[in-house]
Structure 1
Amino acid sequence: MTVSWLAAGALASGIASVIFLRYLWEYRSKPGARFFIVTIACEALWSFSYGTALLVFDPLIREILEIPVWIGVNFIGVSFLAFALEYTGRGSLVRSRWMAAVVALQTIHTGIIVTNPIHGIAWSEYSIEPLFGAATVTYTHGPWLFVNVTGVVIMIAAASFVLFDTFFSYGPLYRTQAAAVAISPVLPGVAFLLWLFQIGGFWRVNLTPLTFPIHLAFDVYAFFSREMFEITPATRRAGERAAIDDLGTAVLIIDEDARLVDLNVEAQRILEIADKPTLGHP
């Protein structure tokens, strides 16, 4: 059997992701590392599933293989956002109710993908139309598919914003690795949106998995050259928080408009404020 270069490229991306996971695994206890590992694992799942799907010309099996692809898609945004938050010292947000709600939403999205043959609200008119010797497909993108992808894009954009905030706020020690990881989703994101909106001459092909090696190159650079998990911005943020909380003196931080931005535990005690409800107010 002749393997299409499209399938070979997607499978190669999966192999590259697994190799990178081998190096990441020993850092799994570092801030953000476990979620970064899940992100790369989602890429591997996406790449292997799509590469395998491009080799399958049976319509039923080909459509079933869309399920693991979309599991990778749906949870790559959640894990990347969780990584960005914990990596930059915002781990409490990862354990918050709103993050639990995001995970629940993506689980619902995945359930809709799994049951799509019943209701057809994610896609319809699914058919195989080979291109370059691969089992590429065409189908009508349903409204829920756009809702689904919008959520993933927002999560990845939010994660990149958090990382860029670190780039500008935390000094040169963390800038290079934060910037590299923040930029890394750009090319895969463009490729995915081109496929979603069926733009270009090869819209039957989802080129996103084929762009993952470039994405991984930024991550590998941050990991090996910039000591990504040896020196993390979470340490500095935790240190700043501890320095204020453990000072023993009441501290209130206000902006130029006299609005309360932050206060420490001692200030909460003196002012008898239970849970910082006045933040953002004069």
Structure 2
Amino acid sequence: MSAAPGSSIVQAMYAITALNSVILAGVLWRHRDRPGAWPLLGTVLGSGLWTVCGLALMRIDPGPLALALLGLLFLGVGVGTMAQLVFTLEYTGREELIRPPILAALSIEPVLVVFTVIANPRNLFYALSDGTVEWGPAFWIHTTYSYVVLAVVTVLIIEFLVRSRSLYRGQSAALLAGTLAAWVGNAAYVFGAVDVDVSPIGFAVAGILYAVAILRYQLVDVVPIARDRVLDTVTDAVFVVDDEDRLIDANPVGRRLLACVDGSPIGTGVDSLLADRPALGEEVRALTATRDPAERELAVGDDYYLVRTTPIEDGRDRHAGWLFVAREITERKRRETRLERQNERLAEFANIVSHDLRNPLTVAGGHLQLAREADDPDPHLDEIERSHERMETIIEDVLALAREGRDVTDTEPVDLAALADRAWASVDTGDATLAIDSSAPILADPDRLWRLLENLFRNSLEHGTDRADGADLEVAVGTLGDARDGSGAGFYVADDGVGIPSSQCDRVFESGYTTDGDGTGFGLSIVEEIATAHDWTSAVAESDAGGARFEFRGVEPAGDATPADADVGSDESSIGTDPSRS
């Protein structure tokens, strides 16, 4: 920062540094749409202005032009320093600090310095003595301020360098070395360690290191997008992919998963990493095709992973990439496969048993019919026929249990009231009546919900009253609001019959449990199997009229979807319109 002429070597270094700044500015301008490019461009232009003005001051005599150039020189110093701070804040993930009030406050010092340099009241900034410059108190205040900013920049980069385990280490090291090279040279001159201002040499070195950061480490292409370090203790594989689909970070588990890749995978495109696994590459591209969180099960060789993707945004709500978390679920998938095979074998076994049992029953039924046609039929034939019917019922119930226990995978909007009416019409209800207290569309498998209602209606008719034909028995169906325990909305089926003793409430859903000598004990077991297949919870309680009340919660409302039974008519109310029953 000398106005005195410099040696030809120093002037040459200034010229080289200025040319280097122009080249770097051109590279950054081509990448100006990338995060961090603008403040880094400001840093390069500021240092370039400083260098050009310094070179010009070496070649002209003191005067108005020299004074103007000196003002521009310190403008370059201020712009470069502040731009470097802004870039560092953005680079290290502290974009929330880059706000207009803060930027305005940071601009005050450079503006004041320029005016102070040009006006220089009472030699406040500098004084000329025998052709040399003696710096005043304003200069030292400015220098202190600049070095404080530099110290903050250095600490931020060092902190990021220490905690970074990815491609950013090379970037950060190059940036740190370049920053120190430029300012160490300036400090050596300012504090008298050398007689000639060697700042341009430092800037030349900084330019080379910045070029390395840009060209070798893709500084303006790959910018930090993950704010916190992924912990080494995470057992899931974690990957960070930028918006150009390049892998820019991975935790140790993720790196082990990519052990098949030669060399370091960091900075490599996802397509290149998965070039030998095109099917897996298609699955990954499908996950990044949307900027919404996504989840998918992927096969990697003989293993299975549940992969969740979360879009990442920078501090200005701009899309910056994706976070992939891959959890190995191989053992779970194997258990699911074994369970599916067991269920298939169970269903096949039930079908075989029912077929093998029905054949002798059919033969026995034929002989029973022949016996009834005899001249003197045996009075025990009626008992034999009832036994046959009971065996047929048991076979049907066993088959139902095998089928209804399978998970419900496809649901659709169902009008509860309309389906209840249909199920009621399919049961021999005698003189009993059905009341719809409240109704709303719900998501369910309509066929299985129909069978659930049929079994509950039969249970009420068979156990709810001692009167023939269900005389005076009323069965009610209604919706339930959200419970206080958070178990969700649902529906109920209740009657005003004799009810269920409290001592038996915990056993009514047990397979084979019945209080009726003629019953199979499977009806309510089938009800619970259907509810469980829907992921609903089942409970039995006393109804308002003293009878039995069966409640089902965790039922998902259908919202505005059109119910499957809309042609029958539906109540437009939503689940939860009957809070008195919740």
Query: TM class by shorter-chain length?
Result: 0.7 to 0.9
- How far is 1:45 from its partner? 0.6
SS in 2 for 1:124: strand
Aligned to 1:219: 210
CA shift in 2, pair 1:112/1:190, >3 Å: same
Aligned to 2:150: 156
Give 1:125's aligned amino acid.
L
> Which structure has the highest strand share of the two?
2
- Give, in whole Å, the separation in 1 of the partners of 2:198 and 2:98: 31
Are 1:45 and 1:69, in contact at CA under 8 Å, matched by a contact in 2? yes
Aligned to 1:278: none
Aligned to 1:62: 66
Are 1:6 and 1:54, in contact at CA under 8 Å, matched by a contact in 2? no
Per-residue CA distance 1:27-86 (angstroms, 9 max, x = gap): 212221100001000111111111111111345543432111111112211110000011
- Give, in whole Å, the separation in 2 of the partners of 1:230 and 1:212: 23
Are 1:18 and 1:44, in contact at CA under 8 Å, matched by a contact in 2? yes
Aligned to 1:182: 176
Per-residue CA distance 1:190-220 (angstroms, 9 max, x = gap): 22122222233x2xx3210232111111111
SS in 2 for 1:30: coil
Are 2:178 and 2:207, in contact at CA under 8 Å, matched by a contact in 1? yes
- How far is 1:96 from its partner? 5.1
TM-score (norm 1): 0.74
Aligned with 2:134 (options 119, 135, 140): 140
SS in 2 for 1:28: coil
Are 1:7 and 1:52, in contact at CA under 8 Å, matched by a contact in 2? no
Aligned to 2:232: none
Aligned to 1:168: 162
TM-score (norm 2): 0.37
For residues 1-282 of structure 1, what are the structure 2 equivalents within 5 Å?
A: 4-95=8-99, 97-116=101-120, 118-128=121-131, 138-200=132-194, 202=195, 205-233=196-224, 235-237=225-227
SS in 1 for 2:133: strand
Per-residue CA distance 1:215-260 (angstroms, 9 max, x = gap): 1111111110011122111x22255989xxxxxxxxxxxxxxxxxx
Which of structure 1's runs of 4+ aligned residues deviate more than 6 A?
Answer: none
Are 1:77 and 1:152, in contact at CA under 8 Å, matched by a contact in 2? yes
CA shift in 2, pair 1:240/1:123, >3 Å: closer
Are 1:39 and 1:76, in contact at CA under 8 Å, matched by a contact in 2? yes
- Percent identical across equivalent pairs? 22
CA shift in 2, pair 1:96/1:179, >3 Å: farther
Give 1:153's aligned amino acid.
Y
Give unpaired runs (5+ residues) of structure 1: 129-137, 243-282
- Give, in whole Å, the separation in 1 of the partners of 2:41 and 2:152: 19
Per-residue CA distance 1:140-161 (angstroms, 9 max, x = gap): 1111111101111111221122
> Which structure has the highest helix share of the two?
1
Give 1:90's aligned amino acid.
R
Give 1:62's aligned amino acid.
A
- Give, in whole Å, the separation in 1 of the partners of 2:71 and 2:129: 14
Give 1:187's aligned amino acid.
A
Are 1:77 and 1:153, in contact at CA under 8 Å, matched by a contact in 2? no
Are 1:32 and 1:85, in contact at CA under 8 Å, matched by a contact in 2? no
What's the RMSD between the two structures over aligned residues? 2.1
Are 1:33 and 1:87, in contact at CA under 8 Å, matched by a contact in 2? no
Give 1:150's aligned amino acid.
T
> Which stretch shifts more, 207-216 or 96-105?
96-105
- How far is 1:102 from its partner? 1.6
- Give, in whole Å, the separation in 1 of the partners of 2:314 and 2:182: 35
SS in 2 for 1:229: coil
- Give, in whole Å, the separation in 2 of the partners of 1:171 and 1:213: 29
SS in 1 for 2:83: helix
Give 2:103's aligned amino acid.
M
CA shift in 2, pair 1:240/1:93, >3 Å: closer
- Give, in whole Å, the separation in 2 of the partners of 1:110 and 1:25: 26
- Give, in whole Å, the separation in 2 of the partners of 1:56 and 1:12: 19
SS in 1 for 2:127: strand
Are 2:81 and 2:150, in contact at CA under 8 Å, matched by a contact in 1? yes
- Give, in whole Å, the separation in 2 of the partners of 1:42 and 1:218: 17
CA shift in 2, pair 1:59/1:199, >3 Å: farther
CA shift in 2, pair 1:5/1:60, >3 Å: farther
- Give, in whole Å, the separation in 2 of the partners of 1:162 and 1:96: 21
Give 2:166's aligned amino acid.
P
CA shift in 2, pair 1:224/1:149, >3 Å: same
Give 2:49's aligned amino acid.
L
